[in-house]
Amino acid sequence: MKINQALALTVYLLFIVAAASAQTDKDYQDLRTLYIDEKYEKLIAKGERYLGKSDSRKDPAPYLYLSKAYYEISRMEEMHDEYPPEKSFANAMKWATKYRKKDPDGVLFRENEMYFEELKKSALEEAAGYMADQKYSRAKRLYDGITKFDPDDAGAWLLLGLCQMEMRSMTEANMTLKKAGEVLHDADVSSYKAQDKATLRNGGLGYVNYLIEEGRRDSARSTLDLLRPALSGDQEFDLIDRRAK
C-alpha cells in the first residue's frame, strides 16, 4: 500500500513539474505563425490576450511579438490611416522595453538580433531628426527606449546623456554619462557590429568634444582610450585624439 502511495505521489510530482515546465517554456508557435503570415492585427489581439493570463504574462515572448507586429505595421503605408505610423513605432519601442524587463539576460534578444538592430536603426534615425529640430524631449524618449531594450549599448547611453545636456538636465545627464562610462568600460567595443559602432562613434565623439571644450582633457583622453579599440583609424576619431593631447 505504501509503495502504491509513493508511486502515486511520484507521478503527481512529475505531472506538476511537467505542467510548470510547459507554462514557462511555451514556444508561442501561434504568435510566430501569425508574424510569418503577416497577420499583425490578429497577432496583436492574441498577444494581448496572453498578457491577460497569469501563466503567460511573465513570459517575454508575447511582449516581443507585440513589438515586432507594431514595428511592421508602422512601415505599412496602407495601414497608416488606421494605425498612424508614429504611434505604431512608439508602441513597438514600448513593447520592446517591456519585453526586456521579462528577459533581463537577453536570451530572446540574441535570438532576435536582426530585429533589434533594425528597430534601433529606425529609432536612431528618428532621434537624430528630433535633435536637429531641437525637439529634445522626443529624442530623449527614443534614446531612453534603446538603453532599456539594449542596456549594453554604450553609444546609446552616451547619446542619451548628450540629449539630456541639451535639455539642461545636468544632474540627470551626469548620472546617464556615468552609466555610459560603466557600460563602455565593461564592453568589448572591438566586437561591436556596424550599427552599434556607428552609435558609439556619434555618442562617444560628441562626448569627447564636450569634455575638451570644458577643459577636461584627462577625462577626454580616458574616454578616447575606451573608444580606441572600436574607432582607431577613423578620420574624425584620430583628429579628436590629436586635439586631446
Sequence-ordered list of residues with C-beta below 8 angstroms from that of 157, at least 6 positions apart, any chain: 147, 176, 177, 179, 180, 183, 184, 203
Angle between helix 235-243 and helix 194-213 axes, rounded to 10 deg: 20
Q: What is the pLDDT of residue 4?
A: 54
Q: What is the pLDDT of residue 148?
A: 97
Per-residue pLDDT of the chain (245 residues; tens, 9 = 90+): 445 554 544 444 444 444 443 434 478 999 999 999 999 999 999 999 999 999 999 999 999 999 999 999 999 999 999 999 999 999 999 999 999 999 999 999 999 999 999 999 999 999 999 999 999 999 999 999 999 999 999 999 999 999 999 999 999 999 999 999 999 999 888 888 888 999 999 999 999 999 999 999 999 999 999 999 999 999 999 999 999 98
Domains of the chain are: 135-245 (1.25.40)
- Residue 244 cell numbers, joined: 586631446
Q: Say if residue 16 is exposed, middle or buried (CB neighbours under 10 Å; 0-12, 13-18, 19+).
A: exposed
What string of H, E and C letters represents the secondary structure of the chain?
A: CHHHHHHHHHHHHHHHHHHHHHHHCCCCHHHHHHHHCCCHHHHHHHHHHHHCCCCCCCCHHHHHHHHHHHHHHHCCHHHCCCCCHHHHHHHHHHHHHHHHHHCCCCHHHHHCHHHHHHHHHHHHHHHHHHHHCCCHHHHHHHHHHHHHHCCCCHHHHHHHHHHHHHCCCHHHHHHHHHHHHHHHHHCCHHHCCHHHHHHHHHHHHHHHHHHHHCCCHHHHHHHHHHHHHHHCCCHHHHHHHHHCC
Residue 224 in contact with residue 244, Cβ under 8 Å? yes
Q: What is the pLDDT of residue 193?
A: 87
Q: What is the pLDDT of residue 20?
A: 40
